[in-house]
A and B are shown apart, each in its own frame.
Chain A
Amino acid sequence: MTDQQTGTKPSHWGRLYNGQILPVVTVILAIIVIWYAGAVYMNSERLIDGYERSKTDWEFSDLVEDSWSMERPILPAPQQIIEELDNTIIDKKITSKRSLVFHAWITLSSTLLGFAFGTLLGIVLAVGIVHVKTLDRSLMPWVIASQTIPILAIAPMIIVVLGHLGLTGLVPKAIISMYLCFFPITIGMVKGLRSPDILQLDLMKTYSASNNDVFWKLRIPASIPYLFTSLKVAVAISLVGAIVAELPTGAVQGLGARLLAGSYYGQTIQIWSALVVASVLGMVLVWAVGIAEKLTLRRMGGQS
């Protein structure tokens, strides 16, 4: 935060103003207002078109009311999305194919597997890059270049090729999400493993520590904060990867399949509710990594 208000005693109002809750609520309220207005603006054209073709007289209030309750709006109103969420999360059995919880679980499982793969790969690559000069020189540019390949665009082909190699089900999806999420972890870990400064390294030398000791007792602890920062980025990315990887597997189950199916049939409300669930899931994942970070740093001696 920038300059705190100093000098005056904070009133209730001041405490609210400087806290987290009020600003977030304000922003959310603003967005909801804009959203409702936007829904009227976006949906009105098609509605007016409809009124004119069916030759009904209409008032502005009718337009507003109708644009918030269309079956296939261009922009659904918030309460429509909440209704749909209520329908597909609370009312349906969790095992039902129409329950978003079920689809979210499918997506989550491949996300977590991909995230685990990606973390492992990212850390192994980073350790290699920091310790082996040849790898540092040869691999690093390609790690960056690998991310310029639009893997999302060729995910369907990747799935087919992996199927050719006998990999089906969860693994191909996890591989695509691994490909996307190892990158920030590698970059972050390389930074982190190189973060100890000369003084600390020299100190280790004076203790006549071996390379192994330097690695385990100095480099690894120093890299933990960096690792967690990139894990937060990576977990969100691996969710996106898992969602995209669901599209070509025949779009059967998972949030990606819901998005796509909504898109086939022009069910905008379904698209939006799947989107909301995906974003919330992403936030929960990032938050969970944050909690793990706090706990780890506390155990390591509270340097947060």
Chain B
Amino acid sequence: MKKLTLLATAAIFGAMAMSAQAADKLTLQLKWVTQAQFAGYYVAKDKGFYKDADLEVTIKPGGPDVAPSQVIAGGGADVVIDWMPAALATREKGVPLVNISQVFAKSGMMLTCRKDMGVKTANDFKGKTLGVWFFGNEYPFLSWMDTLGFSTSGSNPDITVLKQGFNVDPILQKQAACVSTMTYNEYWQVLDAGLTPEELTVFKYEEQGVATLEDGLYVMEDSLKDDAMVDKLSRFVAASLKGWEYAVANPDEAADIVLENDATGAQTEKHQRRMMREIAKLVGTNKVGRLDEAAYQRTVDILMSGKSDVVIAKKPEGAYTQMIWERAQN
């Protein structure tokens, strides 16, 4: 019995000593697979920026069937990367996500179309088949079609929508006139497959005035009530932004770091280096990581303007906070 008590005390003291030395643990859930889209976080991890901030960050890659908001609701992560439309829709569903930092100031989403299938302007969409990603990424597209006045559902829609897989095959095989692409990823896959920029018509959401905010960092509302957690989050944001600044300044090195972290071994150097350069254009230049209220307002307006498919019904309250970013500055 005595021995047992001794053991127990030793164990408790051991555990306390451990926790005193150990860095704060934090789990980050990505929105997609490991690629240069998330270079900043991998750089911060590999270059020791997180460690300097006394953090031990676990980065979980996502994928087509991983809903970051579901993961955070299930307690599988402390911070998730998500697009604002999906995050706001989730918030309305009763999972109180809050934006703590908006890394991408611009949207990288676009619709890439073949000229030889008769798409030269946005009015040519009528009667065509368009590839769209779903899983929360369809909201910007649906809002845009609404503003153009095209119906996408019903018995006889103006536009036939395909749920596109993860690659650009539909446009290569002429199964669709247009496919959704990101400036930094799928667009280059179309070019790699042998189509040339001259043969394509490109509609950037930014230029169409229907862009919604993309990769941002989100946490559950509860974490902001806890002072220790707020401190941890602001250290995390500061280190991550440092990682982003480094990645933007050294794109090739950042791409190589991403490749080392890719456990699937499926990524290529050529593609990742190119992606990193495109991603650099999306990360803002001044006040990197600070959510621009005007852009937030525009996102909300676009999402609420939908006539057919309302993404969010009521104005979100408290869906973002600048507090973490402010604290991360000092």
A residues touching B (Cβ–Cβ < 8 Å)? 46, 50, 53, 72, 74, 96-99, 103, 155-157, 160-161, 163-164, 168, 247-248, 250-253, 257-258, 260-267, 270
Contact = CB atoms under 8 A, between A and B. Distances in A.
Contacts, number: 92
Contacts of A103: 265
Given A257-B264, A264-B167, A163 B61 contact: no
A265 B264 contact: no
A266 B263 contact: no
Nearest 4 A/B pairs, CB to CB: A261-B266, A98-B265, A164-B74, A156-B65
Contacts of B62: 250
Nearest to A260: B63
B57 interface: no
Contact of B193 (A53, A97, A266): A266
Given A98-B265, A264-B166, A160 B70 contact: yes
A266 B165 CA distance: 10
B63 A97 contact: no
Interface size range of chain B in the complex: 35 or more
A97 B262 contact: yes
B168 A253 contact: no
Nearest to A47: B194
Contacts of A50: 194
A191 to B, nearest CB: 36
A267 B271 CA distance: 13
16 contacts: A46-B172, A50-B194, A160-B74, A163-B71, A163-B74, A164-B74, A247-B65, A248-B66, A252-B61, A253-B264, A258-B266, A261-B267, A263-B165, A266-B167, A266-B189, A267-B266
A260 B65 CA distance: 11
Nearest to B168: A266
Contact of B66 (A161, A250, A257): A250
A292 to B, nearest CB: 33
A156 B194 CA distance: 35
A45 B76 CA distance: 46
A257 B71 contact: no
A157 B267 CA distance: 26
A164 B76 CA distance: 6
A248 B266 contact: no
Nearest to A263: B166
Contact of A251 (B63, B75, B167): B63
A53 B266 CA distance: 30
Given A250-B33, A251-B61, A261 B75 contact: no
B71 A97 contact: no
Contacts of A163: 71, 74-76
Nearest to B268: A265
Contacts of B193: 72, 266
Contacts of B61: 250-252
B206 interface: no
Among B70, B194, B199, B266, the most chain A Cβ lie within 10 Å of the Cβ of B266
B197 interface: no
A97 B266 CA distance: 9
Contacts of A98: 265
Given A163-B76, A247-B65, A264-B33, 8 more contacts: A72-B193, A97-B263, A97-B265, A160-B67, A160-B71, A163-B74, A251-B61, A266-B168
Interface string B98-131: 0000000000000000000000000000000000
Among B263, B265, B267, the most chain A Cβ lie within 10 Å of the Cβ of B265
Contacts of B262: 97
Interface string B56-96: 00001111111100110011100000000000000000000
A53 B199 contact: yes
A261 B33 contact: yes
Contacts of A251: 33, 61, 63, 264
A262 B65 contact: no
A74 B271 CA distance: 21
A156 B66 CA distance: 7
B169 interface: yes
B167 A252 contact: no
Contacts of B267: 261, 265
A110 to B, nearest CB: 15
B21 interface: no
Contacts of B67: 156, 160
B155 interface: no
Contacts of B271: 265
Given A160-B74, A251-B264, A260 B173 contact: no
B65 A248 contact: yes
B65 A252 contact: no
A250 B266 CA distance: 14
B263 A257 contact: yes
B264 A97 contact: yes
A260 B263 CA distance: 13
A97 B61 CA distance: 15
Contacts of B168: 266
Nearest to A50: B194
Contact of A265 (B63, B167, B172): B167
B266 A270 contact: yes
Interface in B155-181: 165-169, 172-173
